[in-house]
Amino acid sequence: MKVLVCIKQVVDAHDTVSLDEAAGRLTFAPKSVFRMNRADEHALEEALLLKERLGEDVEIHAVTVGPPRAASVVRRALEMGATGCVHVTVGDDGQPDPSTTARALAACVSRGGFDLVLAGVMAEDDMAGVTGQLVGAYLGWPCATSVVAIETLSPGGKVRVTSEIEHGYRALREIALPAVLTIQTGINQPRYPRLSDVLRARTMSPETIPLDELVPHQRIGNAPKVAKPASSRQGIVLKGTSLEKARALVDILREKALIP
Amino acid sequence: MDMRVYIVGETLGGRLTEETMDLASFVHSAYGRMPDACFLPSCKGDDAAHELAGLTGSTVHLLRSGDDLCPPGRALAEKIAAIIGEGRPSAVFLAQRFFGLELAPMIALLLDAEILTGVVAASGWRFTRQVYGGRFVEHTQPARDRVVCTVFTSPRRHVALEHPSRGRVLVHEAPPADDRARLVGILEPAVSTSPLPEAEVIVSAGRGLGGKENLHLVEELASLFPRSAVGASRGACDLGWLDYSRQIGTTGMSVSPRLYIACGISGAVQHTAGIRGAQTVIAVNIDDQAPIFNVAHIHVVEDLKTFLPALIDEMRKAMAGRNLG
């Protein structure tokens, strides 16, 4: 069975991102650190757990679509134990929209003969939460989102998955492979790389494919303009030292009869 | 712009969900009119369909479907796309929930539409979506003349029609469910032992707390209030600091305490959706740009590790003084 895990590189701390208001785009500070999107890390871990359960004939590959710096997340996937990885390259700091990304990922799936695609439920930066479903839709495969448990019914044939709905409801579905699953955070605890895998990863290099080669006829949409949200701030801002703020807050709590 | 506006509603147990009415009101406030047509996938939603027709004065397509909570796959999307058909520019709105996020991408693909998720506002052909946990927004004007959006609905005053019309309901038989994704069952929420629903004061921990070793500060602060409980953001639960029964937000619990203290919670809409019922919200966060401050009544921009001990200390002094006096 071949499993493809879709991972994205995101900026670690959102307060290192600033807005160029004139250009309507975001810029990263020199100190910005980039890492694997958390939900994707859970997706990769889930794939590695599948391999542990089902045995050595499961191959786990990781793929990312992103700028040159995104190479570090597929390398990280190798260190965590992926068999191989692909970096679909785009220029500079660019990140294509979810539809283009999904078309590139679907093309990778077709090239590689995969049976199962795992992706994180949502990226922390653009918060689209839709790339996995689009990969499924482009491939014509069933897709289950927000998965919090995977049970293998027959290797390469069928999986039983639990999806998280709102307010504590969960859906239990049997999904015939090939299929796409989007993985919710908290499904597992992602591992730290073992030294042996780190050393193995050093001897490997990701396969790189330019985005234009995978998606030759990209539809050019209107680039979104980024802005600050319309401020709805109406609260009282406490001023002073830490102690002064604590005292002011105690007074407010008293006034509101929230403490005796 | 001459465009058609559609919504895809939801039912639960045969009843129209609150989010469906929020969606209709969202369309009304964005476009000054009710949706041109509504789709309602539902297993037994006849009454709900008539209610929605009465509420909107629009045509409601009741699509009989296997289960209310889980969309039956591509066949449903095909049915909706076929009814929308060719022709004028159109915008389709669904609620940003499990149901909508599974269904919307397929509808978009079939309509050759752009898909926009996390939408918080719309005006004409301009759509606003949240990014970076609500720290920024993106304004998009789709190049294509069709768009499918999932919307963060918020409870708003439901718009009533000035001249109520009964609308009309058209019933479509169930598209066959995709047997490659067979629904085995819906698991109901476990009977909760969570103290959150009963609590008058909730002190919640988020990733900004820095580590599990600081959780005692949140617990200690909570313990100073009568009828209090400790809550958490999804992030704090994912890190294993607190059990998921403490999680507040769209995939956790909705709470309505008298006082809510958010400690180190950035305040993405997925979390704040769960605290709309709170009377007073205090946010403590070192990052003054954190979106939690958009909903907080009292803002404390401080490092939790120094502020919480100071607050606990001052509260103890104040309460001791009161007891003596």
pLDDT tens digits, A165-179: 987 889 999 999 999
Residue ranges and CATH numbers for the domains of chain B are: 4-172 (3.40.50.620), 196-324 (3.40.50.1220)
Report the pLDDT value the prediction gives residue B322, as an integer from 0 to 100: 67
Give the number of other Cβ atoms within 10 Å of residue A93's Cβ: 13
Measured in angstroms, the CA of B243 and the nearest CA of chain A are apart by 11
B126 touches chain A (CB under 8 A): no
Residue B230 gets the label, from left (phi > 0), alpha (psi -120 to 50) or beta, of beta
Q: In B, which residues are within 8 Å of A129 by CB distance? A: 101, 117-118
Q: Check residue A25 and give its pLDDT.
A: 92
Q: Which of B130, B180, B311 minimises the CB distance to A175?
A: B180
- The distance of Cα B101 from the centroid of its chain, to the nearest Å, equals 12
pLDDT for the residue B270: 85
- Where chain B has pLDDT below 50, the residues are 325
The more confidently predicted of residues A64 and B67 is A64
- Whole-angstrom distance between the N-terminal and C-terminal Cα of chain B? 69
Kindly list the distances between the CA atom of residue A102 and the CA atoms of A128, A186, B10, B110, in Å, as whole numbers in the listed order: 12, 24, 27, 15
Give dist(CA B307, CA B313) in Å, integer: 10
Query: CB–CB of B255/B198 below 8 Å?
Result: no
pLDDT value of position B70: 76
Q: Which residues, 6+ apart, have CB-to-CB distance to B275 below 8 Å?
A: B248, B254, B255, B260, B262, B281, B295
Residue A119 has pLDDT above 70, yes or no: yes
Q: Give which of B182, B245, B285, B306 to mutate to test A binding, by max A Cβ within 10 Å.
A: B182
Question: Comparing C-alpha atoms, which of B213, B219, B216, B217 is closest to residue B231?
Answer: B219
ipTM, 2 decimals?
0.92
My answer on whether omega of the bond before A206 falls inside 30° of 0, hence cis, is no
Query: So what's the pLDDT on residue B325?
Result: 47
* Whole-number percent of chain A with pLDDT over 70: 98
Token pair listed for B289: 């740009």
**Mean pLDDT, residues A151-172 taken together:** 87
Judged by CB atoms closer than 8 Å, whether chains meet at B182 and A232 is answered as: no
Q: Report the topology of domain A2-214.
A: Rossmann fold (3.40.50)
Q: What is the mean pLDDT of chain B?
A: 90
Chain-chain contact of A167 with B135 (C-beta, under 8 angstroms): no
Residues of chain B contacting A24 with CB distance shorter than 8 Å: 139
Cβ separation B70–A229 shorter than 8 A: no
Three-state SS string across chain A, please? CEEEEECCEEECCHHHEEEECCCCEEEECCCCCEEECHHHHHHHHHHHHHHHHHCCCCEEEEEEEECHHHHHHHHHHHHHCCCEEEEEECCCCCCCCHHHHHHHHHHHHHHHCCCEEEEECCCCCCCCCCHHHHHHHHHCCCEEEEEEEEEEEECCCEEEEEEECHHHCEEEEEEECCEEEEECCCCCCCCCCCHHHHHHHHCCCCEEEEHHHHCCCCCCCCCCEEECCCCCCCCEECCCCHHHHHHHHHHHHHHCCCCC
Quick one: pLDDT at residue B155? Answer: 66
What is the rounded CA–CA span in Å between residue A170 and residue B99?
A: 12
Which of B78, B127, B270, B300 best probes binding to A when mutated, by most A CB atoms within 10 angstroms? B300
Q: Which residues partner with B22 through β-bridges? A: none
pLDDT digits (tens, 9 = 90+) for A27-57: 999 999 999 999 999 999 999 999 999 887 8
